[in-house]
Amino acid sequence: MTSSEVTVDVHLDAADVVAALAHDAALGLSATPKWLPPKWFYDDRGSALFDDITRLPEYYPTRCELEILQRRAGDIATACPADTLIELGAGTSAKTTLLLDALAAAGSLARVVPFDVSEATLRAAAVTLAARYPGVTVHAVVGDFERHLHLLPGGGRRLFAFLGGTIGNLDPSQRAGFLRQVAESLAPGEGLLVGFDLVKEPIRLVSAYDDSSGVTAQFNRNVLAVLNRELGANFDLERFAHVARWVPEHEWIEMRLRSLEAQLVSLPGIGLDLDFATGEELRTEISAKFRRDRVAAELGAAGLRLAHWWTDHAGDFAVTLSFLS
């Protein structure tokens, strides 16, 4: 068998990551109300905790998306017979193997491009992918999808995959910018595959983000540990409570950290001292939920046409395939 060629492009090194964290922390923690982007959850411990979350009984999105891909990967490969799969936010590329297997079985797969912020994770994923798909080029790209999409390799017929419902972590203006940027990079015949978590009963949504075993609470508070380690902050994690609530006017879940008492926190890495009042909340994540008409409208506004809409049997989650309008 022919061994796979592996290339790794690094557009984001450790110093860049800390600088971006410092920028986001200074911006968000100086605001009223305070906030942080959810991407800072995912250090090694945060990633391990999220992996635990995906196996919790309350957390349905991963299971639902996996069900869809198991049933529809062949349909996706037929609808978009790409020779290149680009996975945005690839992580370990575990679910993507269903798509890669389908493209390989269809005889079109020639290249896979995992894209993520973690160089170590991507290098490990690239080795795994090269071993699983001999003869297929593996071109890993270390970068931030909000800044480096234009640096993704071109050529061939590409299918972009943005799975896991991660698009819901972007606010409406960020989503619009992301979809527009992807659309601008697509050539005719190339596709965008996205996972969307759907609107459902608020009690189920809140349970998915506030599990009975407290794993999500640990995951949420871990962002404070990241600030302590990287910016020299002195957050006491036990003085903050995990909060998850449904916000009906936006149709999204918010995760927050509530200060259990009045306290002063210092972040010497960015020269910032923070006063928290008792009960004051720091927003750490939004997770928007979607309806089909809203998805079609947002894709259409970016110049994309919703061509396929697949859901799990229960109708809890959707995977969509779009092309240029």
Q: Give the residue numbers spanning the domain of 255.
A: 1-325
Whole-number pLDDT of residue 194 = 98
Whole-number pLDDT of residue 265 = 98
Whole-number pLDDT of residue 35 = 98
The total domain count for the chain is 1
Whole-number pLDDT of residue 31 = 97
Whole-number pLDDT of residue 200 = 97
Q: In whole angstroms, what is the distance from residue 257 CA to residue 279 CA?
A: 9
Q: Which residues contact 79 (CB under 8 A, 6 or more apart)?
A: 191, 307, 308, 321
Domain harbouring 30, CATH code: 3.40.50.150
Q: What single-letter amino acid sits at 26?
A: A
Whole-number pLDDT of residue 90 = 67
Whole-number pLDDT of residue 229 = 97
pTM of the model as a whole: 0.94
pLDDT tens column, 124-165: 889 999 999 999 999 999 998 888 999 999 999 999 999 999
Whole-number pLDDT of residue 1 = 42
Whole-number pLDDT of residue 29 = 98
Sign of the alpha-carbon torsion through 196, 87, 154, 190: negative
**DSSP per residue, 106-174:** TT---EEEEEES-HHHHHHHHHHHHHHSTT-EEEEEES-TTT-GGGS---S-EEEEE-TTGGGGS-HHH
Low-confidence stretches of the chain (pLDDT < 70) are 1-3, 90-94
246 strand-pairing partners: 253
